[in-house]
Amino acid sequence: MLNPQDACRIAEQLVERGIAAGASAADALYAADRSSGVQVRLGEIDSVSRSEGAQIGLRLFDGQRSATVASSDLSDDALSTLVERCLAMAREAPEDPFAGLAPAELLQGPDIPVLESGDGIDPDPQQLRARALAAENAALAVEGVNNSSGAGASASASVIALATSGGFSGAYEASGHGCSVGVIAGEGSSMQRDHAWHSVRYLDQLDDSEELGRRAGKRAVSRLDPQRPRPGKYPIFFDPRVSSSLLGHFSAAISGASVARKTSFLQDKLGAAVFGSGVEIVDDPLRARGLRSRPFDGEGLRVSRQALVENGVLASWIAETASARQLGIKPTGHAARGAGGAPGASPSNLYMAAGSRRRDQMFASVPEAVLIIELIGQGVNGVTGDYSRGAVGFMIRGGEIAEPVAEITIASNLIDMFATLEPASDLEFRRGIDAPTILVPEMTVAAA
């Protein structure tokens, strides 16, 4: 894996080769990663892994035609061949009136933001093993837990470098540390499983392994002897473990490609009230140590903290250059790509801002409700917004968590859900996409 300076240099050289070969424009993306992990089960090592790899992708334009080719061979001969093949493919590609590099005036300048994305720590296998064992042992020590589906600890590092013939060149590196554990409570047909995990950029921010294990164990035990609620309409609480999935559906619906193709249930909602008053949804690529932070986007554009929803009103699409041109807007700094493909649009550290009411206050505000902790299946229609998914959770009665429920389906439409939902005050930044507990006042609950 190259350091950021050398990674920039090889990307710049590849762009120069592409232009020298006759391309009208070019960009090159270098992406490398290193990862290691240890998996244990019932106190024994299940697997030990380590991998390292790098790819460089070249995108060449011949007027309005373009092609992208990637290679893991970075030798001089291989890169020469890469340029030849990519240019030949571009000249055979169909014309695209929206193709081209990002506008030069929107490119990130030479002062690339520093985001504290990497701590440079590469733990040895013994340290990873100790972390995984501590998590599993703590989970197995919880009364009612009698088996393990395994625990793991991991570490990773990556380098991204991008260069364009439009004048941009930049690179950044990142690290990652994680721990996870899954356990089983109960016996026979009444067994229930659950898990806990945490992932961070800096090792010193990782949850204590034993605490993580106890959390997984208690979660599994709490799910024993689930019931099925009577079918009907209920207020539904989405626990933070699953509430971020609603933001995933939202971000897919506001992507430039979906809107340009007219395949989004939010198609005509820009500038309209999509959520209730007071709801704010923010994308913040510049958060220090954020899991999805980036100092520039996949086309080299400047990035910034953006409110996508302000006081319930949809304020912006997220669009890379091609779909932005289709929509007649400027690209929004959300381009994301791998070495082998053209850019698409994706959020970075996306979150729904905390609401004013505490979770327990919201529980107490309804006589009976369902708290969802796990969602099953992919029953969401991105064109119409129809929503129907299998779910697991708990009943809420008298403001308290009651018996567990399983084998249920919750259904509604995302347009109605967005318009009526209320976020609680318990927002924590633990993932790339985060949301607090969310209350949807009415959804249909049925047997799965």
pLDDT digit string (tens) for 140-164?
A: 999 999 999 999 999 999 999 999 9
CATH code assigned to 4-220: 3.30.2290.10
Per-residue confidence (pLDDT) for residue 89, from 0 to 100:
97
CB atoms within 10 A of CB 44: 7
pLDDT at 178: 98
- Amino acid 271: pLDDT: 97
Report the pLDDT value the prediction gives residue 390, as an integer from 0 to 100.
Answer: 97
* Per-residue pLDDT, 448: 76
Give the domain ranges of the chain. 4-220, 224-245+354-447
CB-based contact 436:257 (threshold 8 Å): no
What is the Cα–Cα distance from 20 to 14, expressed in whole angstroms? 10
**Per-10-residue mean pLDDT for the chain, 448 residues long?**
96 98 98 98 97 97 97 96 97 96 96 94 97 98 97 98 97 98 92 97 98 98 95 98 98 97 96 97 98 97 98 98 96 95 96 98 97 95 97 97 97 98 98 97 94
Smallest Cα–Cα separation from 320: which of 375, 255, 377, 376? Answer: 255
**The predicted structure's pLDDT at residue 378:** 87
- The per-residue pLDDT for 117 is 95
**Spatial separation of the C-alpha atoms in residues 172 and 2, rounded to whole Å:** 11
